[in-house]
Amino acid sequence: MHTYQSIRMNINWVTQRMASDALGVSESTLQKWRNKDKILVIGKHFRRKTPTNQQLLYNLEACEKTLHQLCTTPLEV
């Protein structure tokens, strides 16, 4: 199993499983953030491995930055 630090220092784009492990969420949560909540944006947070492949790769740094911003921004009531 990869540690969060080794993933972050050595790889920019990681598999969905590695991203979910590093971010501490399930793969289905990543899918929800992509499709329903629109938190993760194609090209910035994730991309296809190849143009004809369904497998997705994630930019951990961009995902972390966005999640940090969302978690530290006060909710509007």
Domains of the chain (ranges, CATH numbers): 4-68 (1.10.1660.60)
Strand residue runs (E) in 11-65: 13-15, 46-48, 56-59
Per-residue pLDDT of 2-24, as tens digits, reads 665 555 455 589 999 999 999 99
- The pTM assigned to this predicted structure is 0.77
CA nearest 22: which of 55, 54, 57? 57
How far lies 29's CA from each of 22, 26, 34, 58, in Å? Answer: 13, 5, 9, 13
Which stretches of the chain score pLDDT less than 50? 8
